[in-house]
Amino acid sequence: MRYGKKIFFIIVFILLLVISLGFLYLKSTAPDYNGLLVSPSVNKKISIERNRLGVPKIEAENLKDLFFAIGFVHAQDRLFQMDLARRLADGRLSEIFGKIAFESDKMHKELLIEESMEKSYKYVVESPEIYSLLKSYCDGVNFFIKRGRLPIEFKLLKYKPERYCVKSQVKYLEISRNISIYQAAE
């Protein structure tokens, strides 16, 4: 009976230790919402404050800096989701999930959104203001990625997200539009 109690307490101690270390590890991968950041992509001061629920409030003196901040905040909160959506649009989920995602990749490559995406991208390139804002958004996402404190999903799947660019963002927006149209037609 005496040994049973000792073994029980040792097991409880080990479980508490594992849970504590797991919590500390997860906390180390959470985004840092405090501090001052400096980026050459920002022209004026940006303020990002979060309420007690984590909802961001962004203040910027111009649209370009605002889009940078939105990209940064989106990456802080949703980088893994954003990367999956981009890979879905490109038909590249199987690069991280293997054979299980092959049919999804095949379907998205067969959607032939490349032509409509190219038209949208051409429109964006021909509109310097829109291109500049989307580039600022991507710069904000890339600034977060460059800082290196990535969500735990990237560590678990053993890969790093690629840099964001305007073209991949336009492709994501185009496939989102196509999915919305398809769902509305049902």
Domain interval for residue 89? 31-185
How many domains does the chain fold into? 1
Q: Residue 75 has what pLDDT?
A: 93
Question: Residue 4 domain-assigned?
Answer: no
- Contacts (Cβ under 8 Å, ≥6 apart) of 145: 75, 79, 160, 161, 163, 164
Question: Residue 20 domain-assigned?
Answer: no
Question: Residue 106 domain-assigned?
Answer: yes
Could you tell me which residues are beta bridge partners of residue 50?
56
pTM of the model: 0.78
Question: Residue 109 domain-assigned?
Answer: yes
- Contacts (Cβ under 8 Å, ≥6 apart) of 144: 31, 71, 72, 75, 76, 79
Question: Residue 111 domain-assigned?
Answer: yes
Q: Residue 112 has what pLDDT?
A: 62
Question: Residue 76 domain-assigned?
Answer: yes
Question: Residue 92 domain-assigned?
Answer: yes
State how far the Cα of 47 lies from the Cα of 69, in Å rounded to an integer. Answer: 8
Return the CATH number at 140: 1.10.439.10
Summarised one tens digit per residue, pLDDT across range 30-67 is 566 666 677 778 888 888 988 888 899 999 999 999 99
Question: Residue 18 domain-assigned?
Answer: no
pLDDT in tens, the chain (186 residues): 577 777 777 777 777 777 776 666 656 555 666 666 777 788 888 889 888 888 999 999 999 999 999 999 999 999 998 898 888 888 889 999 999 988 888 887 777 666 777 888 888 889 899 999 999 999 999 999 998 788 889 988 999 999 999 988 888 777 777 666 666 666
In this structure, what is the dihedral angle of CA atoms 112, 115, 119, 125, given to the nearest 10 degrees?
90
